[in-house]
């Protein structure tokens, strides 16, 4: 067994089809000055062909994975229009008299090298986008490249060193049982597409396999745990065949509880809401019985494009989301970029520690024009549903007051344009840094609700970079310090009489249910895939027992003790 990183859940079993690595292996070709015009024409013809192909791919996949996720290919089109990228190619051609494909190869390798040197997983994965676009352009320049494709009408597990979005889009996904990728991470564009297609995916296997996987090898892929088996023993195969059947049966059984009230066995109600980044995800969440949206990550409206979204464009998305959630509330988080979420068209400063730097509300308060455009769009959508506004990464009262001042300015601007909006829209804050926990009682007097972001809260409380694999074992959301921070936050909210929800990964972690029952948290927001599993656990649980377990948890001195107690509750609730 080999351990990778589970990036898209599910169990896949089948024969491997390995995508061969295409190396840009062709000799340098020096041209005569009289051939420059011809080479430039070849370059422009190759660019035009590449754009047409990308536009065709985008149209094809948008019907399956939705318009929002298919916008991945807008980022690829933008690379072909990037003046810096194209100027670098033309300068090599003009000054060094190199053929178009040679100049393109050198610029691709230069840009990939620059991205790979950055200590940022998100930016490293954008190097794959450069490789994908550059490879497409080279293929159109060379003409004679023959791509190895899998056999038609034969299911397989796709194996690749790197997998680009356009490679995945070219394949018949109905035949892909699962995917293994040696390089890349869970935030890559290909991983996003795999999750949208519902294909189990494991990444990060580079250097872990005792020998390369060959075409025809029998594989077992667990996209939840990251476990991979190559030509396993019969007993392992039998075990996973049983697990696969159970997984399918469980998914079918969970569908039967969609319409049931979300109550514990002793009558405690917990609202299960969704974390979304697009309308497509909202539709999926509602089909899984979500009682509204606890977190709309608006940064995805800004990503994979080359200009800021305008007010009307944002308004249209927020309006549709508000209408679809109906009587349930829709909590829209204002732009949360920086750190691992970068925008190509906004230059952010290079920082030694971006997680503690220029990000989230700090950017919004600095870029008031950008912030107020978004606030106006949210306000305009507020008359179409129960819309609320939430500010990310708040660490002081001053930030809340400054943000609210800009919100009032946005309201006045809409009044001057005679545009309707909810003048009493509720405003809340994310509790995700220790400073916010320490002044939670003060913040509770200024806002209408709290939402606890457990991912960042754990990171900052424990001083552990959650993107750093070297210290990943220190990242423990069940650390006593995290538990105390949660209690302090919830106690402050209850004392002030405002609601408090949880929207981090811990909300969807089945083990954490006694924590929420013990604290009296009534709103949990999570991915659509987690909703029904958590609901089933709630239906089989007792709030009274959860409170009893929580009292013991608060006396625990180590994370291991906490996990053991939670496992005891878990075994009784199954």
Q: Which residues are catalytic?
A: 189, 503
Length, in residues, of the chain: 574
Q: Give the SS3 label for residue 159.
A: strand
Collect all residues with Cβ–Cβ distance below 8 Å to 307 and sequence separation of at least 6. 345
- Give dist(CA 555, CA 209) in Å, integer: 43
C-beta of residue 569 within 8 angstroms of C-beta of residue 549: yes
- Give dist(CA 220, CA 212) in Å, integer: 15
298 closest CA partner among 386, 390, 369, 379: 390
Q: Which helix (H) or strand (E) holds 96?
A: helix 83-96
Tally of CA atoms within 13 A in the half-sphere of 140 that contains its CB: 20
Q: Give the SS3 label for residue 420.
A: coil
Q: Give the SS3 label for residue 551.
A: helix
Token pair 């919004």 is found at: 364
DSSP state of 269: B
Tokens read off for 355: 């997680």
Q: What are phi and psi of 152, to 5 degrees?
A: -75, 150
For the chain, what percentages of helix, strand and coil (3-state, to nearest 5) are there? Answer: 55, 15, 30
- Give dist(CA 366, CA 399) in Å, integer: 11
- CB burial string 452-490: b at 16+ within 10 A, e below: bbbebbbbbbbebbbbeeeeeeebbbbbbebbebbbebb
- Give dist(CA 337, CA 156) in Å, integer: 38
Instruction: Output the 3-class SS for 358-417.
Output: CCCHHHHHHCHHHHHHHHHHHHHHHHHCEEEEEECCCCCHHHHHHHHHHHHHHHHHHHHC
- Please state, in angstroms and as integers, the Cα–Cα distance from residue 534 to each residue in 200, 281, 363, 512, 527, following that order: 21, 18, 35, 10, 11
- Give dist(CA 84, CA 95) in Å, integer: 16
- Give dist(CA 239, CA 408) in Å, integer: 60
Q: What are phi and psi of 543, to 5 degrees?
A: -65, -35
The CA radius of gyration of the chain, in Å to the nearest whole number, is 25
Task: For residue 99, count CB atoms less than 10 angstroms from its CB and return exposed for 0-12, middle for 13-18, buried for 19 or more.
Answer: buried
516 closest CA partner among 225, 337, 530, 508: 508
């Amino acid at each position: 067994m080999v351990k990778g990183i589970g990036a898209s859940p599910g169990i896949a079993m089948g024969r491997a089809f390995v995508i061969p690595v295409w190396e840009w292996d062709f000799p340098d070709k020096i041209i005569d000055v009289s051939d420059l015009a011809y080479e430039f024409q070849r370059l422009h013809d190759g660019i035009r062909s590449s754009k047409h192909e990308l536009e065709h791919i985008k149209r094809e996949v948008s019907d399956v994975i939705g318009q929002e996720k298919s916008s991945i290919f807008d980022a690829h089109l933008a690379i072909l229009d990037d003046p810096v990228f194209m100027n670098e190619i033309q300068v090599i051609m003009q000054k060094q008299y190199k053929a178009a494909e040679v100049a393109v190869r050198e610029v691709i390798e230069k840009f990939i090298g620059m991205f790979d040197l950055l200590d940022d997983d998100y930016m490293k994965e954008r190097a794959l986008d450069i490789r994908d676009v550059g490879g497409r352009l080279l293929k159109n320049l060379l003409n004679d490249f023959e791509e190895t494709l899998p056999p038609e009408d034969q299911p397989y597990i796709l194996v690749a060193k790197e997998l680009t979005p356009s490679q995945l889009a070219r394949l018949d996904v109905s035949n892909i049982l699962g995917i293994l990728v040696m390089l890349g991470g869970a935030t890559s564009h290909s991983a996003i597409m795999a999750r949208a297609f519902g294909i189990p995916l494991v990444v990060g296997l580079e250097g872990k396999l005792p020998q390369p996987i060959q075409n025809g090898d029998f594989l077992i892929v667990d996209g939840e745990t990251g476990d991979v088996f190559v030509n396993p023993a019969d007993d392992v195969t039998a075990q996973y065949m049983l697990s696969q059947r159970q997984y399918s049966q469980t998914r079918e059984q969970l569908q039967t509880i969609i319409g049931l009230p979300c109550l514990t066995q002793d009558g405690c109600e917990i609202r299960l809401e969704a974390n979304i980044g697009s309308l497509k995800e909202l539709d999926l969440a509602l089909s899984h019985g979500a009682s509204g949206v606890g977190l709309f990550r608006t940064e995805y409206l800004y990503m994979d494009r080359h200009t800021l979204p305008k007010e009307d464009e944002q308004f249209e998305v927020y309006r549709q989301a508000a209408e679809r959630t109906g009587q349930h509330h829709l909590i829209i988080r204002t732009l949360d970029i920086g750190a691992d979420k970068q925008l190509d068209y906004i230059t952010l400063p290079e920082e030694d520690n971006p997680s503690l730097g220029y990000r989230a509300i700090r950017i919004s308060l600095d870029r008031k024009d950008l912030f107020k455009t978004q606030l106006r769009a949210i306000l305009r959508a507020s008359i179409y549903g129960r819309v609320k506004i939430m500010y990310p990464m708040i660490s002081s009262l001053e930030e809340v007051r400054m943000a609210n001042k800009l919100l009032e300015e946005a309201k006045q601007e809409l009044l001057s344009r005679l545009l309707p909006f909810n003048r009493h829209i509720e405003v809340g804050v994310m509790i995700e840094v220790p400073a916010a926990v320490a002044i939670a009682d003060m913040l509770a007097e200024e806002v209408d609700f709290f939402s606890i972001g457990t991912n960042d809260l754990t990171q900052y409380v424990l001083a552990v970079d959650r993107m750093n694999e070297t210290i990943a074992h220190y990242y423990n959301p069940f650390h006593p310090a995290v538990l105390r921070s949660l209690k302090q936050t919830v106690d402050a909210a209850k004392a002030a009489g405002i609601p408090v929800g949880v929207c981090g990964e811990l909300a969807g972690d089945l083990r954490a249910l006694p924590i929420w029952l013990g604290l009296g948290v009534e709103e949990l927001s999570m991915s659509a895939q987690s909703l029904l599993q958590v609901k089933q656990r709630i239906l089989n649980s007792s709030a009274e027992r959860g409170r009893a377990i929580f009292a013991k948890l608060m006396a625990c001195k180590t994370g291991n003790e906490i996990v053991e107690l939670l496992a005891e509750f878990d075994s009784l609730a199954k």
